[in-house]
Amino acid sequence: MSFFNQSQGKGKSIYRRGADDGFWFGIYLSLLFLAMVTSIYSALAGIASAAMFIAVPFIIFFFLRRSYRADNCTSQFSALWLHGICIFFFGSLLMALTAYVYLRFINPAYITNIVDMAIEVYGTVDSPDAHEMVTLLQKAKDSHILPTAGGTAVQIIWAGVFSGSLLSMIVAAIVRATSRPTLPPPPPPAQFN
């Protein structure tokens, strides 16, 4: 059996399991995105987004450990790492779609509003660096070179896969070091007639 078609537990390949777990992780990341963008209006959303961000390694640990145990703790490190990368890739796709829809159709002025808020905040600071930042942000706004909804979605995918690859490498090593195979159930008692 090849590495890429390696049976995992219920007969799923690494990619299939990554896509399945990535779907659920993508829903989680989409909620995280929505909490982040609403955090400028609500402190509770800011706290929720911070807590959700901190929980990401634990969620990935759960997915990878479940996969590792489904294989009776025989998966190679590289298979677990690839599974984690797939989770982040497919999860990032859903998060990027959510970001695109939000920034393109629901709140298209969001990025401009954030830049305006940053200009206002930096404008109150009496520092040469702050004034330079105000000038830079104002030039970006006036030149219409602020990030677009599509550009933001692509950045989310790139950042998700890159950071997910690094995090998955660490979590895969932890899963292999801490998980033990589950013992099979005892055989039924012999019946004598």
Residue 188 counted as domain residue: no
Classify residue 118: in a domain, yes or no: no
pLDDT > 90? residue 52? yes
- Rounded Cα distance between 116 and 110, Å, is 10
Residue 37 resides in a domain: yes
| pLDDT tens readout for residues 96-125 | 999 999 999 999 999 999 999 999 999 999
At residue 10, the pLDDT reads 52
Structural domains counted in the chain: 1
Position 136 in a domain = no
97 assigned to some structural domain:
yes
Q: How many CB atoms lie within 10 A of CB 59?
A: 18
Q: Does residue 193 belong to any structural domain of this protein?
A: no
Domain-embedded: residue 138: no
State which residues form the domain around 70: 14-106+149-178
Is the predicted pLDDT of residue 43 greater than 60, yes or no?
yes
Determine the 3-state secondary structure of 8 from DSSP: strand
Among 35-39, 90-94, 121-125, 188-192, which is the least confidently predicted range?
Answer: 188-192
CB neighbourhood size of 188 (10 A): 6
Residue 172 lies in a domain: yes
